[in-house]
Chains A and B, each alone.
Chain A
């Protein structure tokens, strides 16, 4: 009977651990990658707007080589402030579902004025058509570099569905945690302290799980070398991933330490009670 009870308690402790792990993961996801404020804060911290400005300028320069135009035509057609505003529009489209469009007329006007100023002769109709095409290419490149795509609303829909799913996981894992912990304690009603020790085992296991996961991820992937699209995006993405992993690892360390300390305290109480009971039994005899 005792063995069966212990197996049931072990299974409940297993469920409790899974629920703790899931609960922490979804909470960390909600407060990091799924939070608009977190993403904006990380973009600020990693100088995303300034780095994107550099990337935009570099991408524009590539078109100059084949355009036959002077490099000066690209001067001041985009400002870091515009990049910051446009990036915030994209973030709002993704996280809040707004459908605001990025205004490219400012770039078009600035570029056209610069081109006209740089050329002495009047352009022929064909040349004007080519200049218009060049302006289109430059604005397309700008949108590509700041990752302005038609998929922003699709991403928003995915995020909305994801948030709903995460809320459900939160509720289920919370209920799972409470129910399994109560069941463990009920099954240990004669020695409730052992029930608490089972619960502590679950807390230690979930903490250790995060530490092990972090070690595995760091062994398999060099996050600091992740390179996607351009430097600005790569730097911000690395920072976001590192921040998420650090949060999970710190939570893991905290859970493990608290679990071990509590386990030792409960073990002392349990041993003390056992000793006391034995003494009482001996006195009765």
Chain B
């Protein structure tokens, strides 16, 4: 009886080892043949499966080369904008989706951040609580952007009315720090606005 048990255990272990070898060969084979594709797939899926609760939020900082360290998370607030003449004090979010614009001012993800020395593009609705009073702005007025890494004041030097398709009127460059803030025009329109009112301001301090 004792012998039978030992033999049974030995035979079971022997064929479990066979099963283990089969798994090793199959998984090894998959890794060798499709390892890169599998990793790329996981990487793509991970981009749309962000664990917001457990994500370590790194402080956004400006390096000596005027480049941001730890860019803000897309869709999160990273600054506030103040325009004293029209009583605007609004949160600025990184991103320009409809969801973001519902909450405050959006930062076009293709543009630079304050302090980086390039074009910064902000946008907001022309509703009462946002930029409806843009027409009252004058050249020389100030706009202040306060971030976690510094405060930047810009002086308005131009204002233009453009078509929604005129993207070349909002050029992206890194030679001079320019803040471009735009909203829909006419401010009291009915229906869908096809024009944009853009305020151009350069970095003062």
Contact = CB atoms under 8 A, between A and B. Distances in A.
B27 A226 contact: no
Contacts of B193: 66-67, 130
Contacts, number: 146
Nearest to A241: B45
A210 to B, nearest CB: 11
B125 A200 contact: no
Interface string B117-144: 0000000011100100000000000000
B3, B45, B184, most chain A CB atoms within 10 A: B45
B51 A62 contact: no
B53 to A, nearest CB: 9
Interface in B42-96: 42, 45-46, 48-52
Interface stretch (B11-19, B107-115, B168-176): B11-19
A131 interface: yes
Given A263-B16, A264-B12, A221 B101 contact: no
A127 B188 CA distance: 11
B12 A267 contact: yes
B189 interface: yes
B192 to A, nearest CB: 4
Contacts of A222: 49, 51
Contacts of A274: 7
| Interface SS majority for chain A | helix
A130 B191 contact: yes
A14, A67, A228 pick with most chain B CB within 10 angstroms? A67
Interface string A105-136: 00000000000000100010001011111101
A271 interface: yes
Interface in B1-40: 3-4, 7-9, 11-12, 15-16, 18-23, 25-27
B50 to A, nearest CB: 6
- Name which of A68, A69, A134, A221 has the most chain B CB atoms within 10 A of its CB: A68
Contacts of A119: 190
A59 interface: yes
A268 B125 CA distance: 77
Contact of B194 (A59, A133, A200, A263): A133
Contact of B127 (A66, A133, A197, A228): A66
A130 B49 CA distance: 39
B48 A228 contact: yes
Contacts of A201: 15-16, 18-19, 22
Given A127-B191, A204-B19, A208-B23, A65 B102 contact: yes
Interface of A: 10, 13-14, 17-18, 21, 58-59, 61-63, 65-69, 119, 123, 127, 129-134, 136-137, 197-198, 200-202, 204-205, 208-209, 212, 220-223, 225-228, 259-260, 263-264, 266-268, 270-272, 274-275
15 contacts: A65-B126, A65-B130, A68-B186, A68-B189, A127-B191, A134-B190, A197-B15, A205-B22, A225-B49, A228-B48, A259-B19, A267-B15, A270-B8, A271-B8, A272-B4
Interface of B: 3-4, 7-9, 11-12, 15-16, 18-23, 25-27, 42, 45-46, 48-52, 98-99, 101-102, 125-127, 130, 183-184, 186, 188-194
Question: Sorted from nearest, which 3 A-B pairs have the closest CB atoms?
Answer: A130-B191, A271-B7, A65-B125
Given A61-B102, A223-B49, A228-B48, 16 more contacts: A10-B22, A17-B22, A17-B26, A65-B101, A65-B126, A136-B192, A202-B19, A202-B22, A205-B23, A222-B51, A225-B49, A226-B48, A264-B12, A268-B4, A270-B7, A275-B4
